[in-house]
């Protein structure tokens, strides 16, 4: 089976055109034991300038290869420069722990760079060491950065504890990020999240604001737990429209 | 008419300002790295400032359909804090290659000290190495000599005048700047820099070649509509439309576009990837000739009700 790194190298190489020798040379520099962080910074800076920012536009076969290489990895909406940045980071052989290098890059990244860094989460070594870094991304005010973690990314499903998972779902609702593209959405539904969502619905009703329909499927499986059942009964008594979403 | 404000410190401005600029026709602006009124005393606060102008501030501008670019540099005032300056210089190469960085700037002289000179030269070298244009801040005091000296040093360091924008010009400095082949910026800033009635007279005298109008709006008493009001006044005063278009749009694009990071298509036909990552789908910028502006401030202005 081909590794995610090899797949990225193949996909980007095929799309690099005249910049292919530059790309290969840069990757050789980054892979060498003597590679410096400055080499990495320059590669990350030049990636969009050299390779462009077009969509990677992967074929169904390539997406299947991605799924085989890392279950849950969905690079379907990755761009060439973003993919190249992840490849550069996977190729770089620095002597600091990965999380330290990642933190250093994240602190000074522009938006597109930060999106690429976070989209790469399922592919990095020592994934548990990135806990703080992922938290910083979730707290970002830039919706696309939040979505780089939350959408089409198996990292939250695989590594978030219940508290962080629940707050990611809640923040998605707050900032208008769709729930549908969250990997593992139904698998990780839990009674505490259901309680939070019903409470959230109550606040929306009280404020005269619409309640997003997509939260109800996360409440449904727990509709019979006493606390939630009480809340739902009360809402029905007030005439709120929820029946069609909660069986 | 589409306008560019190539010098605006939006980090100090409100969403009302963004709204007003968008409504006045500003499609793109450049935020030069500068000081914040209050000097920074830690390298880290400077680094976070640079992160803000390549990140969050760009996103904020995008919410109003305005494309945000920036310049990266160590300003002349804070160059006098040597410990800070040394630290900041180490970080600059990383930021200079970020997306949408169109120049090294604003750099130059304030009091014309030895430290200012040292870091001005080092940053000119960096700009040359990275192939980026330079935005030069000319000093408020001893302006004429400071401006001449800035150009002398650019030439000593081997920069091509066509890659250098000398900003904050006035009637006394513009002649030499144009004659030596540089771009000449004018900041329409009340009381201290250039007024727009004076600017109109300069346009009548010098025409449009290599002249750029900006607002330099910041945390001081300044006007984010400096470019728009100047364009309007110039048109009313009989300045040809082609001249107004050049000094309030085209020349800034030509000068800073030399970075390869700023293109008219950025706002006329934003690429799909860009819409997706920076503009939240195409809800803000829908393509076509003019950006479609959402109006977050409307309800505040028009009614008593806050929802």
Domains in chain B (CATH in brackets) are 3-302 (3.20.20.140)
Question: Is the CB of residue B15 less than 8 Å from the CB of residue B57?
Answer: no
Residue closest to B119 by CA, chosen among B159, B73, B161: B73
Whether residue B273 has pLDDT greater than 70: no
Q: Among B54, B91, B273, select the one facing A110 at the smallest CB separation.
A: B54
Whether residue B306 has pLDDT greater than 80: no
The pLDDT assigned to B263 comes to 95
- What is the distance between the alpha carbons of residues A161 and B62, in angstroms, rounded to a whole number? 34
Tokens of B147: 């401006």
3-state secondary structure (DSSP) of residue B90: helix
Contacts of B230 (CB under 8 A, 6+ apart): B188, B196, B199, B200, B213, B248
- What is the distance between the alpha carbons of residues A235 and A230, in angstroms, rounded to a whole number? 9
Whether residue B299 has pLDDT greater than 50: no
**Contacting residues of B for A108, CB less than 8 Å apart:** 47, 50-51, 91, 94-95
The pLDDT assigned to B190 comes to 86
- What is the distance between the alpha carbons of residues B144 and B173, in angstroms, rounded to a whole number? 6
CB contact under 8 A, A112 and B47: no
The pLDDT assigned to B191 comes to 83
* Cβ of residue B56 closer than 8 Å to a chain A Cβ: yes
What is the b/e burial string over B169-191, where b = at least 16 CB atoms within 10 angstroms of the residue's CB?
bbeebbebbbebebbbbbbbbee
DSSP state of A75: G
pLDDT tens, residue by residue, A153-212: 999 999 999 999 999 999 999 888 999 999 999 999 999 999 999 999 988 988 888 888
The pLDDT assigned to B286 comes to 31
A-B C-beta contacts closer than 8 Å: 64
Burial (0-12, 13-18, 19+ Cβ within 10 Å), B24: middle
Tokens of A134: 């992922």
More confident residue, A239 or A14: A14
- Report strand pairing: B101-108 vs B164-167: unpaired
Tokens of A131: 């806990």
Question: Is the CB of residue B145 less than 8 Å from the CB of residue B123?
Answer: no
Q: How many residues does chain A have?
A: 247
CB contact under 8 A, B280 and A143: yes
Whether residue B289 has pLDDT greater than 80: no
DSSP state of B104: E
Provide the pLDDT confidence category of residue B193 given band limits of 50, 70 and 90.
Answer: confident
- What is the distance between the alpha carbons of residues B216 and B224, in angstroms, rounded to a whole number? 8
Whether residue B302 has pLDDT greater than 80: no
- What is the distance between the alpha carbons of residues B289 and B17, in angstroms, rounded to a whole number? 22
Whether residue B262 has pLDDT greater than 60: yes
Q: Among A42, A54, A108, select the one facing B273 at the smallest CB separation.
A: A54
The pLDDT assigned to B281 comes to 35
Tokens of A220: 């449904």
pLDDT tens, residue by residue, A104-161: 999 999 989 999 999 999 999 999 999 999 999 999 888 899 999 999 999 999 999 9
More confident residue, B121 or A233: B121
Question: Is the CB of residue B227 less than 8 Å from the CB of residue B215?
Answer: yes
- What is the distance between the alpha carbons of residues A28 and A17, in angstroms, rounded to a whole number? 18
CA A235 to chain centre: 34
CB contact under 8 A, B97 and A108: no
The pLDDT assigned to A236 comes to 86
Q: How far is A224 from chain B (nearest CA, A)?
A: 34
Strand order across the beta sheet in which B101-108 lies: B3-5, B26-32, B67-72, B101-108, B134-137, B164-167, B183-187, B211-214
3-state secondary structure (DSSP) of residue B141: coil
A-interface mutation test, from B97, B130, B132, most A Cβ less than 10 A away: B97
- What is the distance between the alpha carbons of residues B171 and B67, in angstroms, rounded to a whole number? 31
- What is the distance between the alpha carbons of residues A87 and A175, in angstroms, rounded to a whole number? 30
The pLDDT assigned to A134 comes to 97
Region A52-61 average pLDDT: 94
Query: Which 3-state string (H, E, C) describes A127-153?
Result: HHHHHHHHHHHHCCCCHHHHHHHHECC
CA B217 to chain centre: 9
Question: Is the CB of residue A86 less than 8 Å from the CB of residue A116?
Answer: yes
Q: How far is B287 from chain A (nearest CA, A)?
A: 17
Burial (0-12, 13-18, 19+ Cβ within 10 Å), A153: buried
pLDDT tens, residue by residue, A75-113: 999 999 999 999 999 999 888 999 999 999 999 999 899
More confident residue, B269 or B203: B203
The pLDDT assigned to A82 comes to 96
Residue closest to A126 by CA, chosen among A155, A98, A93, A86: A98
Q: How far is B156 from chain A (nearest CA, A)?
A: 27
Region B42-62 average pLDDT: 93
Counting DSSP H helices and E strands in chain A, the numbers are: 14, 0
The pLDDT assigned to A208 comes to 86
* Cβ of residue B287 closer than 8 Å to a chain A Cβ: no
Interface of B with A in 167-226 (CB under 8 A): none
CB contact under 8 A, B47 and A46: no
- What is the distance between the alpha carbons of residues B80 and B93, in angstroms, rounded to a whole number? 20
- What is the distance between the alpha carbons of residues B172 and B183, in angstroms, rounded to a whole number? 15
Tokens of B97: 């290659």
Provide the pLDDT confidence category of residue B293 given band limits of 50, 70 and 90.
Answer: very low
Tokens of B280: 């939240």
CA A185 to chain centre: 13
Provide the pLDDT confidence category of residue B305 given band limits of 50, 70 and 90.
Answer: low
Whether residue B72 has pLDDT greater than 50: yes
Provide the pLDDT confidence category of residue A61 given band limits of 50, 70 and 90.
Answer: very high
pLDDT tens, residue by residue, B194-241: 999 999 999 999 999 999 999 999 999 999 999 999 999 999 999 999
A-interface mutation test, from B15, B61, B71, B94, most A Cβ less than 10 A away: B94
Lowest mean pLDDT among B19-33, B213-227, B232-246, B288-302: B288-302
């Amino acid at each position: 089976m081909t590794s995610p790194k090899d797949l990225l190298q193949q996909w980007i190489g095929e799309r690099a055109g005249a910049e292919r020798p530059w790309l290969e040379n840069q990757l050789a520099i980054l892979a060498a034991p003597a590679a410096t962080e400055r080499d990495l910074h320059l590669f990350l800076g030049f990636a969009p300038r050299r390779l462009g920012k077009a969509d990677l536009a992967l074929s169904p076969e390539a997406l299947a290869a991605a799924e085989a290489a890392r279950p849950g990895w969905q690079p379907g909406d990755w761009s060439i420069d973003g993919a190249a940045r992840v490849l550069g980071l996977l190729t770089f052989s620095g002597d600091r722990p990965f999380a330290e290098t990642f933190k250093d890059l994240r602190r000074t990244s522009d938006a597109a760079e930060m999106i690429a860094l976070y989209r790469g989460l399922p592919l990095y070594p020592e994934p548990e060491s990135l806990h703080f870094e992922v938290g910083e991304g979730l707290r970002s005010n830039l919706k696309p950065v939040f979505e780089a973690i939350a959408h089409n990314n198996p990292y939250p499903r695989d590594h978030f504890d219940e508290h962080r998972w629940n707050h990611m779902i809640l923040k998605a609702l707050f900032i208008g990020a769709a729930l549908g593209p969250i990997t593992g959405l139904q698998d990780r539904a839990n009674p505490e999240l259901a309680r939070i969502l019903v409470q959230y619905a109550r606040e929306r009703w009280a404020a005269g604001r619409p309640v997003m329909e997509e939260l109800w499927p996360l409440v449904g499986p727990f509709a019979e737990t006493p606390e939630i059942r009480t809340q739902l009964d009360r809402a029905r008594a007030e005439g709120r429209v929820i029946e069609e979403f909660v069986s | 008419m589409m306008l560019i404000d190539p010098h605006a410190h939006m980090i100090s401005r409100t969403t009302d300002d963004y709204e007003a600029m968008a409504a006045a026709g500003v499609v793109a602006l450049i935020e030069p790295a500068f000081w914040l009124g209050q000097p920074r005393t830690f390298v880290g606060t400077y680094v976070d400032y640079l992160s803000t102008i390549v990140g969050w501030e760009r996103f904020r501008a995008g919410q109003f359909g305005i494309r945000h670019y920036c310049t990266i540099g160590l300003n002349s005032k804070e160059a006098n804090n040597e410990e800070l300056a040394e630290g900041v210089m180490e970080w600059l190469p990383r930021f200079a290659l970020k997306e949408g960085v169109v120049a090294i700037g604003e750099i130059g002289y304030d009091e014309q000290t030895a430290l200012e000179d040292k870091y001005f030269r080092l940053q000119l070298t960096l700009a040359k190495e990275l192939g980026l244009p330079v935005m030069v801040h000319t000093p408020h005091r001893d302006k004429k000599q400071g401006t001449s000296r800035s150009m002398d040093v650019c030439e000593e360091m081997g920069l091509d005048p066509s890659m250098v924008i000398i900003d904050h010009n006035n009637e006394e400095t513009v002649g030499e700047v144009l004659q030596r082949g540089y771009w000449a910026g004018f900041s329409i800033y009340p009381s201290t820099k250039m007024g727009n009635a004076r600017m109109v007279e300069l346009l009548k005298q010098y025409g449009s070649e290599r002249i750029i109008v900006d607002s330099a709006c910041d945390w001081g008493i300044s006007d984010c509509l400096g470019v728009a009001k100047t364009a309007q006044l110039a048109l009313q005063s009989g300045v040809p439309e082609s001249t107004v278009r050049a000094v309030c749009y085209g020349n800034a694009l030509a000068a800073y576009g030399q970075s390869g990071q700023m293109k008219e298509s950025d706002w006329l036909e934003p690429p799909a990837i860009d819409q997706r990552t920076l503009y939240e789908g195409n809800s803000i910028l829908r393509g076509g000739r003019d950006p479609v502006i959402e109006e977050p401030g409307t309800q505040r202005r028009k009614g008593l009700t806050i929802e």
